[in-house]
Structure 1
Amino acid sequence: MATARARIRRRQLAAIMLVASAITPVFNILTSERSLRSAIQGVVDAILISLLVGGYVLFVHDGWLRPWFRRLGFRADLALSSAIMLALFLGGRAAGQVVTTLQPGRFLTSFTEPHLRWYALPFFAVIATTIQFVIQMNRLIGANVLGYFAAGVYHRPKAEERIFLFLDLEGSTQLAERLGSDAYFELLRRFVDDLTDPVIEAEGEIYQYAGDEVVVTWPLEAGVRDANCVRCFFAIRAALARRAARYERDFGTVPRFRGGLHGGTVTAGELGDLRRQIVFVGDILNTAARLEEYAKRTGLDLVASGALLERLALPAEVEAKHCGELALRGKEARVTAYGLTGA
């Protein structure tokens, strides 16, 4: 069964192949005579280029050599992948000429044409770099966030109904001391990697990482649908349990975490100039963070506000235990809270 990330990558791959397949016909229209032969050449080139680019992204960049590319860093990955994609564009175009003319020698002679030097090389270099830059930014700041910026969704601050789940790694200070900073960072990296699929499956998005804390958010409608925000917590716990042997082998422990869950109205908008990001502000986040602190203090796994639980139907396997009216740090009004436990 394909993971949530695999499905997202397939959609992204389809978009990349669609763009790649459209490039050569556009180039031929701009630089060649409009004829049936030119149209056929464009279609053949488009098919070959999309297959080459798609194969590279799927089997090499995101497949066999994915760990190596991740270690390269943003600039090196951008430069190398852009160069490879440029070579694939030009190679696919040259192969297309072989197919349409049935002359194998056209593959090499196509690289010596003045047309390539003055038009094709700069054109495809710009396209390859642009595609790779979008891919890298998409992975750097997140697909949803890049879309929000591009569409200007939060250019002007606006009120939204959202749910926030604060997750905090248990015993992080002791873990860091015992493992050392490098091994502890690797544990955090693996922890975040393992929780990503459950978050996506639950229609959530990771809002931010803050040390050993991860904040997940949903639009209210998506979060309450099928109790996604609650299911997400227990799905993450199940994912870690399935990988318990690997964690024990590599770190001598299995990560445990606690959570605080609350929802309501927040203000969302773009913040910053030199480094711009989308920020959510409001008492809702403070309350979710305080509920997570309460869970840590009392040994509960997940604590959710009564106000949020009134808006969703809990799964049959999840039980809610009333914690009372809590006086949370920094809040004047008491908050009705429930401890949630799953099967």
Structure 2
Amino acid sequence: MRLSLRNKLIAVCFSTMLFTGLAIVFVIVIGGVPERAATAALGTGLAISLFEEFYVQGRPGRWLRAMHPAKSIALYSLLIVVFAMTMMMANKTLLGRFHGAPVASELAHTMPPLLIILPLLFVVAIAAIMTLRVVGYLGARNLFYLMIGKYHRPVLERRIFLFLDIKGSTALVERLGPIEARALIGKFFFDVSGPITDLGGEIYRFTGDGLVAVWGWRQGVVRNRIARAIDAIGDAVDREADYYRSKFGHVPDYRIGVHGGPIVTCEEGDTRRAIGFYGDTIHIAARLEQKAKELGIDCALSGNVAELQTGLGDRLRVIGDEPVRGMAEPIKVCELRRAKHGGPTATPSR
């Protein structure tokens, strides 16, 4: 099962159980019958969770994610209310038939409380969506780690970092102007973030005209995920090439540097907390992105990451030991070329 699919299913199960539990508590508080509410809450929670994970956060939901937050929240809240009301009506209908009561009578008995439930449901929907968006901004994994204090004290780990930088961004700003250039860069980030997270990576930070992604060591090296993510980034940009040309007159090009190794991971900040990384590994990854520029290549991988990517044929070329600014010893550098049409692509290795 794909990592992204497994993570989505786990999120669906967790969200459904959480929604059902909160709904039952709410019904008990207002004096309702929890047994009857449980089935409606379960169906509503499942429908909303599936919609969020497989539509809103998927490629079909790009239009909703790209919408202004206020409009997006209002529209999404209305959809949640529709989901909830549909499940409530279906639940009442099924229970009425099960207990032998007339369906019309069962539905009529439901209508008076709706005047109370609907406004509350809309408020709850807005709160739920805003919570989802906050989790999305922070990253679900990072938020969980902050809550349980995993990195309250520094932890030494092995991770892989990918630095990506848009080529010619200064000239791009001069040609398009700051607003249009920012719109192009924002769309580029929007397009390439999905392929990274789908293959087990996290967006650590955006850096003006670039980004930094990070994988746990095992998550990054298993099944060629680093090479597959790099291929998927290129595919995502290629799919949107016509839009870039028509909207901005330019398809963004980029350079990538990748390195992995030991890193210190810890919490940082006080009133605004985050998880930070410290050590040579992240600096070497950044230097490799610059080394790619010096060497005139699009993607530079350090030797310790490249040797674990298999089945790439002549796409993976060893350049040799290269001096890296700030490091006493040279670093083995390899070039990963874009897959040609009909050529070998990065496939999951067993």
Q: In which range does the TM-score fall when normalised by the shorter chain?
A: 0.7 to 0.9
Inter-partner Cα distance in structure 2 for 1:239 and 1:62: 16
Deviation track 1:176-210 (CA, whole Å, cap 9, x = no partner) reads 11111222112112211221232133221111110
Inter-partner Cα distance in structure 2 for 1:220 and 1:50: 34
- The aligned residue for residue 180 of structure 1 is 177
- The aligned residue for residue 110 of structure 2 is 107
CA distance 1:194–1:291, shift in 2 (3 Å):
same
Structure 2: which 5+ runs fail to align? 340-350
Query: Which of 36, 39, 43 pairs up with 1:41?
Result: 36
Query: Which of 210, 217, 228 pairs up with 1:231?
Result: 228
Are 1:150 and 2:153 matched, yes or no?
no
- The aligned residue for residue 322 of structure 1 is 318
Deviation track 1:264-286 (CA, whole Å, cap 9, x = no partner) reads 00001111123211111111111
- The aligned residue for residue 216 of structure 2 is 219
Inter-partner Cα distance in structure 2 for 1:186 and 1:5: 28
TM-score scaled by structure 2? 0.77
Tell me whether 150-159 or 262-271 shows the greater mean CA deviation. 150-159
Deviation track 1:138-172 (CA, whole Å, cap 9, x = no partner) reads 22222222222233222222011001111111111
| SS in structure 2 at match of 1:153 | coil
Inter-partner Cα distance in structure 1 for 2:333 and 2:54: 48
| SS in structure 2 at match of 1:329 | coil
Are 1:253 and 2:250 matched, yes or no?
yes
Query: Which of 269, 272, 275 pairs up with 1:272?
Result: 269
- The aligned residue for residue 21 of structure 2 is 22
Shift of 1:29: 4.5
Structure 1: which 5+ runs fail to align? none
CA contact (8 A) 1:52 1:92 kept: no
CA distance 1:196–1:4, shift in 2 (3 Å):
farther
Number of residues of Structure 1 aligned to a counterpart in Structure 2: 329
CA contact (8 A) 1:25 1:46 kept: yes
Are 1:303 and 2:300 matched, yes or no?
yes
* Aligned residues with identical type, % of pairs: 29
| SS in structure 2 at match of 1:105 | helix
Tell me whether 95-104 or 232-241 shows the greater mean CA deviation. 95-104
Are 1:289 and 2:286 matched, yes or no?
yes
- The aligned residue for residue 347 of structure 2 is none
Query: Which of 128, 131, 134 pairs up with 1:131?
Result: 128
CA contact (8 A) 1:48 1:95 kept: no
RMSD over equivalenced CA pairs, Å:
3.7
- The aligned residue for residue 342 of structure 2 is none
CA contact (8 A) 2:259 2:281 kept: yes
CA distance 1:193–1:78, shift in 2 (3 Å):
closer
| SS in structure 1 at match of 2:332 | strand
Inter-partner Cα distance in structure 1 for 2:254 and 2:153: 35
CA distance 1:69–1:252, shift in 2 (3 Å):
closer
CA distance 1:125–1:183, shift in 2 (3 Å):
closer
Are 1:244 and 2:247 matched, yes or no?
no
Query: Which of 256, 259, 262 pairs up with 1:262?
Result: 259
